[in-house]
């Protein structure tokens, strides 16, 4: 029986050696895949940073160069969505009027929303007026003519 045990022992050692070799190969492949994944992640991160930077630059350019139609659409949409805060007034350069709407909007906390509703209605009406005017008419009325209300 000792020969049987010796053969079994040799077989087990061979199998263990094969398993160790297989584990080493698998570990090598895992390291290779991990390296490739890290490289791909770095490449993706740099591309994402570049895309975000390009988007930020184009957004800055769009907002800084907004005039005529661009400012009309921006002011009109903001008037409809955030008119109760007077954001559209600040976009057009009417700081006093924007501050008035902002104060009315915030006072809505204390007036059960009455003043916020009033400033919201003003914003919606102004947004509709802005968007229905022609580009030239909007520019002449609100940007050149500096007409602050309606």
Residue 30 in this model has a pLDDT that exceeds 60: yes
pTM: 0.52
* Overall residue count recorded for the chain in this entry: 150
Query: 99 versus 68: which is more confidently predicted?
Result: 99
Q: pLDDT, tens digit, for every residue of 54-82?
A: 766 766 665 555 554 568 888 999 999 98
Question: In which band, very low, low, confident or very high, does the pLDDT at 47 lie, cut at 50, 70 and 90?
Answer: confident
Residue 110 has pLDDT above 70, yes or no: yes
Average pLDDT rounded to a whole number, residues 14-19: 83
Which pLDDT score, from 0 to 100, does residue 59 have? 60
Residue whose C-alpha is closest to residue 98's, from 111, 106, 87: 87
Q: Taking each helix axis from N to C terminus, what angle separates 114-132 and 69-82, rounded to the nearest 10 degrees?
A: 160
Task: Give CA–CA dist 117/119, Å, rounded.
Answer: 6
Mean pLDDT over 17-44 rounds to 83
What are the structure tokens assigned to 119, written together? Answer: 């400033």
- The residue written with tokens 């009027």 in the block is 97
pLDDT at position 70 is 64
Count of CB atoms situated within 10 Å of the CB of 18 = 10
| Cα–Cα distance measured from residue 32 to residue 19, given in angstroms and rounded to the nearest whole number | 20
Return mean pLDDT, the chain: 81
Provide the percentage of residues in the chain whose pLDDT is more than 70. 85
CA-CA distance, 12 to 109, in Å (whole number)?
A: 80
How high is the pLDDT of residue 58?
Answer: 67
């Amino acid at each position: 029986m000792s020969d049987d045990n010796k053969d079994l022992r040799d077989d087990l050692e061979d199998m263990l050696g094969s398993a160790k070799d297989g584990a080493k190969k698998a570990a090598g492949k895992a390291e290779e895949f991990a390296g490739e994944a890290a490289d791909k992640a770095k490449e993706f991160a740099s591309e994402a940073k570049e895309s975000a930077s390009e988007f930020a630059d184009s957004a800055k350019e769009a907002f800084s160069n907004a005039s005529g139609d661009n400012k009309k659409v921006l002011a009109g949409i903001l008037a409809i969505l955030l008119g109760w805060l007077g954001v559209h007034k600040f976009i057009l350069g009417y700081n006093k009027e924007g501050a008035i709407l902002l104060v009315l909007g915030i006072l809505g906390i204390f007036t059960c929303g009455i003043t916020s509703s009033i400033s919201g209605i003003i914003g919606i009406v102004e947004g509709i007026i802005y968007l229905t005017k022609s580009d030239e008419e909007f520019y002449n009325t609100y940007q050149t003519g500096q007409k602050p209300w309606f």
